[in-house]
Every structure is written in structure tokens, then in C-alpha cells.
Structure 1
Amino acid sequence: MSELIVKVFVDADSCPVKKEIVSICQKFNQSAVFVSSIAHEMNVPDGFTHVSVDSDKEAADMYILNQSKRGDCCVTQDHALASILLPKGVDVLSPRGYVYREENIMQMLDARYLSQKERRKGGKTKGPRAFTEEDRSLFCHQFTRILSKKAGK
């Protein structure tokens, strides 16, 4: 499978749209690198890469951070990883189809910090809502849009 000039990195441990990533990448003749902890078994189709990293909390993030470059794309739900990749010029998309932007990432990080602070004090915070088919559909639309733009279509 020949690749676009860019790479697609997937923070794969808890990614609910792996099949969709493979399908959309295949439409664009694009491969992807699925990065996960050694604790997670994973099979990927021919033409795709699976990288196992140690089970350190940030190991997958560090791999993606060190391997990505301007123009690449990353699928992650990790706001902190997104905040580091955006200044590098990496397009970052959540599995729910949310396109991270430098204009709003600080607000997202602040909200995450306040929730963590509340939990440390023993308070309860709302967890993420359940993943829906609408989320999956939005992801497919946004990921297709990003790869179309990179392919010049």
C-alpha cells in the first residue's frame, strides 16, 4: 500500500473507531500506525502498522509525539497529547469526530484540571457520555475530510 506523504497515528488502547480508521485509510491508499500498550493485543490488516509500547501511562503518547511531524494526523481522546501535537502542526481528531484546535485546547485542559482537582478532594464529576453511532458517523465524516484535504481532493 503506497502512502500519502503524511502519517496517521492512532492512540489505539481505547479507540472505538479502529475499523473505521482502516476502512477510510484504505479508500485513500493511506496506512496508519496503531500505537498501544503491550497489555493490549491487536491485529491490523496488511499495509498497517501496530507498535507495542511498554505499559507506562504515557508511553503511547511519547511514541506518537516523537514520531509525528508537521502535516501528520493523530486520532486520540487525550487532550494533553493533542495540546502538544497541535503546535507541531499535526491535525488531531478525537474518536467522537471532534477536531482539536489551538484556539480551544487550553479551555479543554482547564476543564480537565478542574475535574481532576474536584476528584482529588473527594468530589464526584461527570464522566464522558456513552459513545454513540452519531459520534462514529461524525468521526468518519471529519477523518474523511482531513484525508481528502491532505490528498488534495
Structure 2
Amino acid sequence: MIYVDADACPVKAEIEAVATRHDLGVAMVSNGGLRPSSNPLVAMIYVDQGADEADMWIADRCTSGDVVVTGDIPLAARAVSAGARVVKPNGEVLTQTNVGAALASRDLMADLRAADPFRQGGGKPFGKADRARFRDALERVVRQAKG
């Protein structure tokens, strides 16, 4: 099963394509507002409104052999500890060996942002190369999970 933290996920089409190729179920978990998929492998799961409702739903269900797609590092840490494989939308794979560092980096960046309320800017735009990198990483992780 592929669990997707779907509210702000930019790679839903890529997930659906890989899942279809491998005949894997997908749970697109969100607070609502997503267009349903016509793909019979994709289940749309709508949880209550709230910052971490989708994350908690996924964390409570994912197990060894599952794949979780999320950019949320605390959810990724919970999924990894449950034995799931985690891929961020940018194609980065989080594992037991690197999820702790990702969590520490996230906390440091939150502290830096809080210390400078006038800080402007955001990330770079999400492009074709990012989508390709994600698709390749998801394909690799799905094969490992099935293997």
C-alpha cells in the first residue's frame, strides 16, 4: 500500500502511475478538497480538519512493506519507526539512518525562521526534473518494498 499525505502533494499523478504499474493500492489522505481519482486502485480518504489529522491517520496505519509519500518530517519519522519506506515529493528517501538528521534540521530551520520574522523567500519552483527524480525514487522504493 502507498499512503500519501495528499493535501499539498505535488506528485499525485506520478504516484498513481507507479501504483498502477505495480498494481498497488493508494490511500490519498487529506482534509478534503481533492478531486477523486477514477483509478480503482486509488482510495480518497478524507479526515477531519486539523493540522495533523492526515498525518495521524497515516501513522496509525502504515506498517512494514508500505510506502509513505510525505514532506512532513515528523510523520516520516513515525512511518520509518513503523517499518514503512518513506519518499519525500522531492525524491529524497528517508530511512532509519537519515530521518533523525532530517528531524533535527527541520527543528533548526524552524528556530531560524522564528528568530527572523522579516525573512522573505521560499523554495525554488517544482519542475520536471523534480518530478522525474521523485518518480525514479518511488519506483525504486516500491520495488524494494515488494521484494
Relative to the length of structure 1, the TM-score reads 0.87
Task: Flag the 1:63–1:132 CA change in 2: closer, same or farther, 3 A.
Answer: same
Q: Is the 8 A contact 2:89 2:134 kept in 1?
A: yes
1:30 corresponding residue in structure 2? 24
Aligned runs of 1:3-152 on 2, under 5 Å?
Answer: 7-38=1-32, 40-44=33-37, 45-123=39-117, 124=119, 127-152=122-147
Q: Is the 8 A contact 1:119 1:125 kept in 2?
A: no
Superposed CA offset, 1:101-144 (max 9, x none): 22222222222212212222334276332212111101111111
Superposed CA offset, 1:31-86 (max 9, x none): 20000012x23211223100001110000000001111111110001111111111
Alpha-carbon distance in 2 for matches of 1:96, 1:144: 14
Alpha-carbon distance in 1 for matches of 2:113, 2:54: 25
Q: Is the 8 A contact 1:85 1:92 kept in 2?
A: yes
What secondary structure, in the 3-state scheme, does the structure 1 residue paired with 2:97 have?
helix
Runs of at least 5 residues in structure 2 that lack an aligned partner in the other structure: none
Q: Percent identity?
A: 29
Alpha-carbon distance in 2 for matches of 1:125, 1:118: 12
Alpha-carbon distance in 2 for matches of 1:105, 1:149: 18
Aligned residues: 145
Runs of at least 5 residues in structure 1 that lack an aligned partner in the other structure: 1-6
Q: Is the 8 A contact 1:118 1:125 kept in 2?
A: no
Alpha-carbon distance in 2 for matches of 1:151, 1:63: 23
